[in-house]
Chain A
Amino acid sequence: MKYKLAIIPVIIFPLILIFLLIGLGKDPTIVPSPLIGKNIPTFSSKDLISNEPITNNDLLGQYSLLNVWASWCPACYDEHDHLMNLSEKLSIPIYGLNYKDNFKDATTWLSLYGNPYEKIIFDFDGMIGIEFGVYGAPETFILDHKGTILYKHIGAINQEFINNKLLPIINNEFE
């Protein structure tokens, strides 16, 4: 009788192992976004720098990047060099979504490290971020000219994202 009971852990353990092994191959930061393939939500806010009104319609017309950032977010600092680089080299505009931040910190941060953004949506209470399904800054969306979300990257931008996702999508468009 006891022999039989002792088999249970021997059976359960490999099951757990399988899940661990499969989980290991996956990146826990990849969260599927239900918004992919859909249009960006409607919003209206103000531009952080110019203080002029900005709405979802301002993001239409051409392919673009939408980068969610905040001055309080350390990973945003990490990806900033990439963004500065992209803003020089890419032919498409980069928009910023300044997420749960305040005016003073955000503008100081930009003057310290440079401003790669064409326009910046000021989202101090994070309500627009919620509409976009933002988990936390930084996040980056690739949008097409109709405002459809083509891809969403969670976490700091890295070379892998630029080479394997961003550039192929853009090159595809211009060919």
Chain B
Amino acid sequence: MIISEVGNVLLSFATAFSAVTTLSFFFKNYYSHSYIFGLSRFFTLTSFFIILFSFILLSYAFLTDNFSILYVANNSNITLPDIYKFSATWGAHEGSMLLWVLILSFWTLLVAFFSDSLPKVISINMLSIMNFIILAFLTFIIFTSNPFDTIFPAPENGNDLNPLLQDPGLIIHPPLLYFGYVGTSIPFAFAVAILFNEEVKPKWISWLRKWVTLTWFFLTAGISLGSWWAYHELGWGGWWFWDPVENASFMPWLILTALIHSLIISEKRNIFLSWSIFLSILAFSLSLLGTFLVRSGILVSVHAFANDPERGIYILTFLSVIIGFSLILYMIKSNRLTDTNDFTFNSKEFVLLINNILLTIITFAILLGTLYPLIASTLDLGKISVGPPYFNYISTFLFLPMILLMSPAVFMAWKKNNLKKIIKPLTSMFILSLILAFIVTWLFYEIRYLIVLISLAFAIFAILSSIFKIYENIKIHSKIKSLYKRLININFSIVSNSFAHIGIGVLVIGITISNYFSLEKEILMKPGDSTMISNVEIIFNGIKKEKEQNYSSKVGVFYSYKNDVYQLTYLPEKRIYNVQKNVMTEAAISSSLARDIYIALGEEVSSEQWSVRIYYKPLIQFIWLGVLFMLFSTFFVFFDKRKTLKK
């Protein structure tokens, strides 16, 4: 009981501190700005530690099996292993909202302490806006989803954590994703602060770009970990499903990617400022919309935890206030930003602009597809789900031109480009890519689909041009003797975008090949049966039964042979969790760079005869390899020093 009361008091105090900090926006001109800023900073720090403490308190309630707390009783159980008791803290709606606010509060804290390059008045406004968002979500938690609500009498034992979430992936996937999601509040707060200020300096843009990159890093890591988890652990047989919740995280990612590129232009050329500001607002709006879609249960999704209209109404109200306000502010004030937009068609900024437009169009196409079931049911078009074919179609035809544009974009110059200088290396690399794509497909796969050749060629083109760009960058400095000086002189922004583009290329290769050349078998097997998939023979040896602390399982034993030589043992499982009697499938996967073999147990159709799913997925690991390159690329952004060009 005491935990519940302390928890409620903590949440109320945090709410009060955020409210006071929000007010600094209105009072900043009555006192000196550095005084108000110091105060805001102190309150932000205090409120962060209070929220952190309430989060720790909730984890403590989980670890000590305190079932008098309703949320703990609903999502934990005495037999649950300790690590999952801890991760259950954010395993369901209430706790995950608390984590959301904790992370938002952490980002706010970072802004409070690392914004020295911004004028005080901008920092104060940013802290005020971010604290307003914290305030809104804290009241949301307290009134509609309080994790400290009690239950009386306390049950003997809890209802257990959803078995789907009893997985190491859950421990890290939501926090990473939330770091990315919530991080978009920084560009948002910046955008609103700038709109009030009506002036922006390249130095501030440079500051923002680093935070946006960091946010992008977390969002990329969160999304890809989610897909890795679905593929490797959940046994869903794929890595991306165009589920509403996946789309909800993908849309802010696309806009953040566009924002990174547009900020580069804004910083370098002092143009497209109002476009960058708009993307900043959009990224956060889409994050909020995503939170709403997930939390209201408005769309049917594999991730849906809660279906509670009251919660939906609250988030929707908040969402319409904050997005509506910022869009109207943008409409009124954006034209006052100094924004000359002088550019020629033959320049880097123009190609980047095209990329921005494409990314925005893709985002809206995905938004339309995601909301389509809602629109259709509202307009009585019947309940239709648009589904993967739509998304695959639009993403293929909108992403491909973008990937093609990546290579010239890297080589083109700002302002006025010398076409003659770049046309020769680009054409030769493009022809080389076409030949390579053809040879690779012909040797290892099959020449059957034109689209495979095209996307492979574009991807290889992106990789080759990026490698060539790094090589060029190093060669310029080859005359410098000292290794240290040579390293210092490397243009890290080139290294960074080359790595990111190599990552995209590798990712596209993985998606294309695994998509078009996967083999799938769904067969019935008795012990002793064998089957061939690609050039590998799979033998079913039998089933063994195992018991763990919180579940019992049937484990299929499969051996793989290649040219009659034993290679591996696969142990796919079917688990039955003790408390909720849920059945979970654990696939067995052997991964290598060239291919994955994936075995999942189906049902026992008759005695000893099992339905078995066997997949052969070539190059699927390239997907996550590509993501690693992209994540790695962000590291260099923190070292690059871009110089703003003179008009």
Contacts and interface: CB of A to CB of B under 8 A. Distances in A.
A28 B297 contact: yes
Given A9-B330, A102-B603, A105-B604, A24 B580 contact: no
B396 interface: no
Given A24-B313, A74-B582, A2 B296 contact: no
A7 B605 contact: no
A3 B382 CA distance: 38
Contacts of B297: 28
Nearest to A3: B335
Contact of A10 (B319, B327, B375, B603): B327
A32 B374 contact: no
A118 to B, nearest CB: 24
Contacts of B371: 16, 19-20
Interface residues of B, number: 43
A13 interface: yes
Nearest to A20: B316
Contacts of A32: 382-383
B580 A2 contact: no
B331 interface: yes
Contact of A13 (B323, B334, B605, B607): B323
A151 interface: no
Contact of A20 (B292, B377, B603): B292
Given A28-B297, A28-B298, A19 B335 contact: no
A77 B274 CA distance: 55
A22 B327 contact: no
Given A24-B298, A102-B604, A102-B605, A6 B581 contact: no
A13 B327 contact: yes
B583 interface: yes
A70 to B, nearest CB: 10
Contacts of B331: 3, 6-7, 9-10
B474 interface: no
15 contacts: A6-B274, A7-B331, A10-B327, A10-B331, A13-B320, A17-B324, A19-B374, A19-B375, A21-B316, A23-B298, A23-B378, A24-B309, A72-B583, A102-B604, A124-B605
Interface of B: 274, 278, 282, 289, 292, 296-300, 307, 309, 312-313, 316, 319-320, 323-324, 327-328, 330-331, 334-335, 339, 371, 373-375, 377-378, 382-383, 580-583, 603-607
Given A14-B324, A28-B373, A74-B581, 14 more contacts: A2-B274, A9-B330, A10-B324, A10-B328, A16-B289, A17-B316, A20-B292, A22-B378, A23-B299, A23-B377, A25-B309, A28-B297, A104-B604, A105-B604
- Nearest 8 interchain pairs by C-beta: A23-B374, A6-B331, A2-B335, A22-B378, A24-B312, A28-B300, A74-B582, A72-B583
